Amino acid sequence: MEKLRYSIIYAVLRPEISERVSVGLIIVDGEDISVRISRQKLNAIQHLFSGKEYDYLSRIVHSMQRDQSVGSTEAINYLTRYSNNLIAVSPLQTIDIKPTKQSKDKLYKNYVYDGVR
């Protein structure tokens, strides 16, 4: 059975104390890699950064989703090691469940945004 793998994209608020907010999720389904971001969370943290910092953060996260610049597990592993004090990516995690739309949605709701107000 194929297993679901994921990595969380964080906006780093205060690197000196590792304070961060999950803003997106990289989902690996076999050879297919997708990126989902939460526009609501990005909008919510906008005032926690300077204008330039937020623009950079937003641009990078949106380009990861739009351009599918995370095209391989090697790229995800690189992003895990790379840090610029604004964005962090968690190491790939594996869950022993079948990668279905429902399991991907539940993963996104649990780690990034559930849409409930």
Model pLDDT, residue 85: 81
User: Domain limits of the chain?
Assistant: 4-96
**Dihedral in degrees, nearest 10, Cα atoms 81, 87, 90, 96:** -130
Task: Report pLDDT for 63.
Answer: 86
- Residue 29 reports pLDDT greater than 90: no
- Confidence (pLDDT) at 21: 95
pTM value is 0.90
- CA-CA distances (angstroms) from residue 97 to 5, 33, 46, 62, 100? 9, 16, 35, 28, 9
How far is 48 from 35, CA to CA, in rounded Å? 23
Q: Which of 86, 34, 78 is nearest to 59 (CA)?
A: 86
